[in-house]
Amino acid sequence: MTAADATLAAGALSGLRVLDLTDSSEQYCGRLLAQLGADVTLVEPPRGTSTRHRGPFLQGASGPNASLLFNYLNLGKSSVVADLETEQGRATLHALARQADVLIESRAPAENRRLGLDYAALRAVNERLVVTSITPFGQDGPYAGYQGDDLVAMALGGFLYLGGYADREPVGAPGDQALLAAAQFAAVATAIAVWDVERHPADGQGRHIDVSVQESISMGLETAVQFAELEGTVRRRQGGEQRMAGMGVFPCKDGQIYYMAGGVGNGRFWQASTEWLLDEQVPRAAELQAPEWWDRDFISTSEAKTRFYEIFTPFSLARTKAELYEQAQQRRLPLCPMNTPADVVESTQLAHRNFFTEAAIPSLRAAFRIPGAPFQMSATPCAAHRVAPELPAEVHAE
């Protein structure tokens, strides 16, 4: 692919040929590249990639094409079967790699060396190939050879420790959040590497992108690392409790909301919040006008949190998420509904931006909505693919 090809094509990466050897949620990297216009081929073992055999599955359906997870991760790709444990399978891969621009993989470094699929070996096949490796801990270091799934990456990345209630064990986020984060970083890095290769055609060299899932999820620690390093304090798990009075999760008529009555470092929010409750004639709201509520030390106490909860909760329980959100927006107060997945599907904001796309499994005569790309591009819109690659029905999980 040349830069001119990409400029003239409908997709930003049209003409780019990608081989996807990943086997779990790292496959989201290839899906993003496909949505940007790349021609992505999923290289699968004879019985299908592992995500074909992971749920959730289409209700009442079975077989290698029924996994909704697989369809989500592989929309817009084609597929080829190659057993990389055999010489014939590796020969098939090498033939594909000679014509490819990018190869994405997620095997352990030692496993790739055993199979002759490490970067040095692939570079000998195609010296301009961009190889993107997404592994639990990266290509080097004492943990490079260790196995690890999403939960392990979140635990060793520090992210797991911060989730859950303060008096209970840590709780992980739903889904493969660490792997999906790594996949998104990998897609961005891959696109940059492709651009860099084309920017330096004379050197004739590809690039090796080394993505660590542990490092990718550690990006989500916000300021926890700085507090630990500079102040010697370890951030504690908060759960749904208030971090300080008026800042946290509160119940309402049809679920929960997240509210920051004090705003973000600005006292005017507290005043506006108090005026809201006074206008609605909330019992005891006048207590929140006392000078002590402007004292950061006081509003961090259990007493302050309890008193605010007792005043605010009867008010919030009498109203829906939508009602509280609309009223808070009118007063320019930071409050948001805690949406359920069903709420997200019906979001007017996401509908306006056409975030959900129609997908289908032709062999099962099934159609459903699926989340689209997490970004939009003006001159080269993301492709609205409808199907993931299918395998013959006789392929089943072992």
Q: What is the pLDDT of residues 224-262, one digit of tens each?
A: 778 788 888 887 777 777 888 999 999 999 999 999 997
Backbone angles phi, psi at 237, to 5 degrees: -70, 140
For 253, half-sphere exposure in the C-beta direction (CA atoms, 13 angstrom radius) is 9
Using the 8-state DSSP alphabet, how is residue 231 labeled?
Answer: T
Write out pLDDT tens, residues 49-74.
999 999 999 998 989 999 999 999 99
Between CA 186 and CA 358 the distance in angstroms is: 25
pLDDT at position 2, please? Answer: 47
Residue spans in the chain of domains classed CATH 3.40.50.10540? 3-220+358-371
Write out pLDDT tens, residues 91-106.
999 999 999 999 999 9
Lowest mean pLDDT: which of 43-52, 218-227, 272-281, 286-295? 218-227
Write out pLDDT tens, residues 351-368.
999 999 999 999 999 999
Between CA 92 and CA 103 the distance in angstroms is: 14
What is the average per-residue pLDDT within 184-212? Answer: 95
Tell me the percentage of the chain whose pLDDT exceeds 90.
78
Between CA 184 and CA 73 the distance in angstroms is: 12
pLDDT at position 263, please? Answer: 56
What is the average per-residue pLDDT within 167-195? Answer: 95
Between CA 159 and CA 33 the distance in angstroms is: 27
What is the average per-residue pLDDT within 2-8? Answer: 42
Residue type at 364 in one-letter notation? L
CATH of domain 3-220+358-371: 3.40.50.10540
- Looking at the predicted structure, is the pLDDT value of residue 160 above 60? yes
Contact indicator for 211, 182 with CB cutoff of 8 Å: yes
Question: Is 247-338 a CATH 3.40.50.2300 domain?
Answer: no
Contacting residues for 144 by C-beta, under 8 A, at least 6 apart: 108, 109, 135, 137, 138
Q: Where are the alpha helices (DSSP H) in 165-282?
A: 177-199, 213-218, 224-230, 267-279
Residue spans in the chain of domains classed CATH 3.30.1540.10? 247-338
- Looking at the predicted structure, is the pLDDT value of residue 121 above 50? yes
How many Cβ atoms from other residues are within 10 Å of residue 182's Cβ?
29
Model confidence band, residue 48 (pLDDT cutoffs 50, 70, 90): very high
pLDDT at position 16, please? Answer: 97
Tokens of 370: 């699926």
